[in-house]
Structure 1
Amino acid sequence: MNGYRTIRETDDSVETLYEIQKSRFITHIRHVETDEGARAFIQAMKKQYFDARHNCSAYVLGERADKQKSNDDGEPGGTAGNPILEAIKKNALTDVVIVVTRYFGGIKLGAGGLIRAYGHAAVLGIEAATRIEMTPFTELHVTIGYDLLATVEHWIRQQEIRTEEADYAEAVTLHLLLPPAEVESRLIELRDLTSANFQSEEGATRRIALPC
């Protein structure tokens, strides 16, 4: 299981505004996970900004960012959708859709100007969103006696290991969250720390959202 970068999932999209040569570029960015979700968001923006000259878009989907699409929506070929797509790719994001709405101000920007404007507008949207790293962690359930609890808890704090709420019964079960590659080395450390007086069970590997 690999990690990947995306933006935080919210009910509302993030909105930014960029103005140049009297043209207004309104950017909306949102977390989506399917083609259908991306297309629905693009259509919603076109409906909301029906009076705009252009609603250009791009999206990237999948854990490997292998689904990519862009649309110039009437701008000269390659001057709008592709710069938006490149902004997403340069930030190594996936499961993201961006729509940049342009209200034409009467002054032509030229192909180079359009590329820069749409790219910059997309970057502003990305910078305004909360970016996260979906990072794999493996659950390791460790059961110890109360006599070892303080020692193990000190080790956990010292090593800055992520944990979930412990279970307290006749013994204590600590729920550790470890990068998959660290599981074996952490078990060796625990054996040394407790003289092998513990029981462990490896749980599922899942992704956790971390700020990036």
Structure 2
Amino acid sequence: MQYVDVEIQSKHQIKGSVFLGFLVPYALFESTLEKLKKEHHKARHIVYAYRHLEQGSLQEALHEDREPKNSARGLLDILRRGDLIESAIIVVRYFGGVLLGVGGLMKAYSQSLQLCLQNASPKPFEPTQSVRQWVSYPVLEVLSARARKHGVLLKKQSLDKKGAWVCLQASPELLEKVLGD
């Protein structure tokens, strides 16, 4: 299994419709989706697929956002064939006035992900580890920024006057990037 650790974007056009692809680490999925919904509020459709390991169980999802059934199915199929986990693809579609049909949509959405994968360097997936530690508030700001940058999940567990206990979850490699220096 493998995963992507940075956001990768693609853009292509088919019969007037513009497709914007965003391949992201799963840890950034929800925040990226919300950001894209705000930035592209005039887009006709925002579809997505992801594969995520939650408490040892593989969770997969596909959302076609009012597109015909199975029109974005290729996104999940490509993630599976590429053995990608802890990764999500979001595709924003601006309708160009020409109906593409289910087959045309399948190709178009799949092409968005394939273009992203051409520029990706997936890393081998390592099971997630958790690190719990106390940090002062000034350090917490820096640590939070690093965690977002590297797709590391940071949860604040308890706060006091001088700092907070936090739990960081990611692969050992990503934890080292965030906690190093």
Q: Would you say the 8 A contact 1:55–1:102 is kept in 2?
A: yes
Aligned length: 130
TM alignment of 1:1-212, pairs within 5 A: 4-8=1-5, 10=6, 13-33=7-27, 37-62=28-53, 66-80=58-72, 82-134=73-125, 208=173
In structure 2, stretches of 5+ residues that fail to align are 128-170, 175-181
Q: Would you say the 8 A contact 1:61–1:95 is kept in 2?
A: yes
Larger radius of gyration: 1
Instruction: Give secondary structure in 1 for the equivalent of 2:68.
Output: coil
Instruction: Give secondary structure in 2 for the equivalent of 1:105.
Output: coil
Identity, in percent, stands at: 26
- Runs of 4+ deviating beyond 4 Å: 206-209
Q: TM-score, normalised by structure 1?
A: 0.56
Deviations 1:126-178 (A, max 9, x none): 22222111358xxxxxxxxxxxxxxxxxxxxxxxxxxxxxxxxxxxxxxxxxx
CA RMSD of aligned residues (A): 2.2
Q: Would you say the 8 A contact 1:24–1:102 is kept in 2?
A: yes
Aligned mates of 2:119, 2:126 — CA distance in 1: 22
Q: Would you say the 8 A contact 1:65–1:93 is kept in 2?
A: no
Aligned mates of 2:62, 2:41 — CA distance in 1: 19
Q: Would you say the 8 A contact 2:12–2:18 is kept in 1?
A: yes
What letter corresponds to residue 92 of structure 2 in structure 1? T
Aligned mates of 1:48, 1:106 — CA distance in 2: 21
Q: TM-score, normalised by structure 2?
A: 0.64
